[in-house]
Amino acid sequence: MAPAAPSKPLTGCELAAAVMVGMLTLLGLSAFALAPRAGEPVAVFAPFMSADRVAGIVAAAGGALLAVGGRSDVVIATAPDAGFSARLYAAGALLVLDARAAPWCRQPVTQRGKGLS
């Protein structure tokens, strides 16, 4: 049996392609893991909006506000049906994730004192 030929080092383009494939794979797996589930709480991100405006987005989508995050433009909300995430996007949310992805957003609304209920 002949000895294996020595492998040549990766070129810059090959290395960049390998890194991109790895990043896209991680992004795809993350998106799958963080996707909202019907009937489960979701984290709603609406950058640069007041807590009242984000609460309005949740209300317009037919959901209930559960908590306000450390920032006023991040809330935890819920609704029992599968179309809630799509309605949140349509109402102005920039990003909607499974609430388990945002454990720092768990302060109940009643403790915030922002006029939300």
Helix (H) or strand (E) holding 21: helix 12-34
What is the per-residue pLDDT across 50-96, written as a single tens digit (0 to 9) for each?
888 988 999 999 999 888 877 778 888 998 888 899 999 999 998 88
Domain membership of residue 27 (yes or no) is no
What is residue 89's predicted lDDT score, i.e. its pLDDT? Answer: 92
Domain membership of residue 61 (yes or no) is yes
What is residue 60's predicted lDDT score, i.e. its pLDDT? Answer: 95
Give the neighbor-by-neighbor strand order of the sheet with 74-78. Answer: 64-68, 74-78, 42-45, 95-98
Domain membership of residue 96 (yes or no) is yes
Range of the domain at 88: 42-112
- Least confident residue range of 31-35, 50-54, 77-81, 113-117: 113-117
Task: Kindly give, in sequence order, each residue whose CB lies less than 8 Å from that of residue 112, ignoring residues fewer than 6 positions away.
Answer: 51, 68
Residue corresponding to tokens 């309005």: 56
Domain membership of residue 23 (yes or no) is no
Chain mean position to CA 35: 7
What is residue 41's predicted lDDT score, i.e. its pLDDT? Answer: 87
Is the model's pLDDT at 22 over the cut of 60?
yes
Is the model's pLDDT at 111 over the cut of 60?
no
pTM of the model: 0.62
Q: Which residue has the higher pLDDT, 114 or 66?
A: 66
Domain total in the chain: 1
